Structure 1
Amino acid sequence: EEWGLESLEENAHSSTPCTKVFVNGVWMGVHRDPTNLVKTLKKLRRKDDINAEVSVVRDIRERELRLYTDAGRVCRPLFIVENQQLLMQKVHIENLNRAKEERAEEERKKAEGIEEPEDPDDPPPPRYEYQWENLIKDGVIELLDAEEEETVMICMTPEDLENSRLQAADIDPHENDTEADPSARLKAPTNAHTWTHCEIHPSMILGVCASI
């Protein structure tokens, strides 16, 4: 009720078009504003208010909203794109590098047997922690399963995002290309799409484990 979900009994004889809501295949009720509901659920997932592995799939043609929380679904990570821009910024890379350097320094001191005396009045600052989980909690990386992938637009590289921005501004991204590079990767001609996600690396299309 808090989310505007109506029970099946309340809506049994209503002629108002509604979207059926399923949770793990069980019909839980109907909703009159599925667009807003999907936006809210994805915002909560990106803020880590609901689990990052919850899948939100909206089938507009069938008027269905399917939520999956069960185990056994294979999810893979993707960069989130908003307004044709990656949400992954330089500050996130700097945070990862800083945490990596502090861990390396701590391991070096342990290996060399260096122990710093602890002052109870001035304890050392806690080690800076920023890892993969923090990228998900900060809403720059999203985990999608195969079914939710069918509802999003995924570009292969950040360069494709740049080309789409140029095409949207009526600028030919290849107008300054004087000669073809024989070693360059061949690319199909692209149109100005509204991308929602970007591949972290093309080899991860089949998943991290399959690419090892």
Structure 2
Amino acid sequence: AETPEGQACGLVKNLSLMCSISVGTSTEPIIEYMISRNMEVLEEYEPQRYPHATKIFLNGSWIGVHQDARSLVRDVQQLRRANQIPAEVSLIRDIRDREFKIFSDAGRVMRPLFVVEQEDDYENGIQKGSLALTKEMVRRLEMDQALPPDSDEHFGWQGLVNAGVIEYLDAEEEETAMICMTPEDLESYRQAKLGAPEQEDTNESLNKRLKTKMNPSTHMYTHCEIHPSMILGICASIIPFPD
């Protein structure tokens, strides 16, 4: 066991597989972009004029308000996926409390997830509800194996992050995301949303993976696990049949 005995039992935590720690980035470009997107700074805000405005927080400090939080969050997310702002910046929209929280400080624990397209992408031929990962990107990853390690044409993991296919989510942003376990489950859900009949699983193997029933109230998945074992740490991931 990887936990101490006695009083401290259970207090030691292990990082999950592929987990990373944020190192911190500058906040100035984010503030400038927010102001250019019609954010009203806190010094000029009049609560009586805009009582239902969304508050914007940057690393815990209230910096201003915005009238159209939905479009603002979508635009900032697109900037992050286009690698215009660092991938380690966290974006959390709390609809109930009308708050939009941005974190770019150091020491946050983040883990990578596949991005699920929320709109039809006609340019790349990706349908709504499908993974942003394309066959062309998989082909480029396969071609990387034939390239020397120091080649400029190397696509690799960083290429996936820069292309907006993989996002790093911290614990707080993960609370606002709907995460699917596998790409197969995601495709089954997408087909069910389109009205296709659910296929019966004819696999009678004792070792088959147990699948949870599809929740019809789920509006849309936003992310998908790279592999279900990525949730676990090193010790837990080597347990037989952890699902």
| TM-score calculated relative to the size of structure 1 | 0.82
Equivalent in the alignment of 2:113: 78
Q: How many residues align?
A: 191
Question: CA offset at residue 182 of structure 1?
Answer: 2.4
Equivalent in the alignment of 2:198: 173
The 1:24/1:186 distance shift into structure 2, 3 A limit, reads same
Whether 1:65 and 2:100 are equivalent positions in the alignment is yes
Mark the structure with the bigger radius of gyration: 1
Question: CA offset at residue 174 of structure 1?
Answer: 2.5
SS in 2 for 1:57: strand
CA distance in 2, matches of 1:210, 1:14: 53
Post-superposition Cα deviations, 1:59-101, rounded to whole Å, max 9, x if no partner, equal 1111111000000001110000111101111211221221221
The 1:78/1:179 distance shift into structure 2, 3 A limit, reads closer
Post-superposition Cα deviations, 1:9-39, rounded to whole Å, max 9, x if no partner, equal 3223434210110100011011111101100
Whether 1:94 and 2:127 are equivalent positions in the alignment is no
Equivalent in the alignment of 1:6: 40
CA distance in 2, matches of 1:57, 1:26: 14
Equivalent in the alignment of 1:186: 210
Q: 1:88–1:140: 8 Å Cα contact kept in structure 2?
A: yes
Equivalent in the alignment of 1:37: 72
Equivalent in the alignment of 2:183: 158
CA distance in 1, matches of 2:235, 2:68: 38
Task: Note the 1:118-129 alignment, pairs <5 A.
Answer: 127-129=152-154
The 1:43/1:127 distance shift into structure 2, 3 A limit, reads closer
Question: CA offset at residue 3 of structure 1?
Answer: 1.7
Equivalent in the alignment of 2:55: 20
Question: CA offset at residue 48 of structure 1?
Answer: 0.4
Gaps of 5+ in 1: 107-125
Question: CA offset at residue 211 of structure 1?
Answer: 5.3
| Residue range with higher mean Cα deviation, 51-60 or 127-136 | 127-136
The 1:142/1:13 distance shift into structure 2, 3 A limit, reads closer
Which of 196, 201, 226 is equivalent to 1:200?
Answer: 226
Q: 1:164–1:191: 8 Å Cα contact kept in structure 2?
A: no
Post-superposition Cα deviations, 1:97-136, rounded to whole Å, max 9, x if no partner, equal 21221127x9xxxxxxxxxxxxxxxxxxx65211211111
Q: 1:56–1:67: 8 Å Cα contact kept in structure 2?
A: yes
| Residue range with higher mean Cα deviation, 50-59 or 181-190 | 181-190
Percent identity between the two aligned chains: 48
The 1:207/1:55 distance shift into structure 2, 3 A limit, reads farther
Which of 53, 65, 70 is equivalent to 2:88?
Answer: 53
Amino acid at match of 2:208: A
The 1:87/1:208 distance shift into structure 2, 3 A limit, reads farther
Equivalent in the alignment of 1:103: 148
| TM-score calculated relative to the size of structure 2 | 0.72
CA distance in 2, matches of 1:207, 1:100: 28
Cα RMSD (Å): 2.2
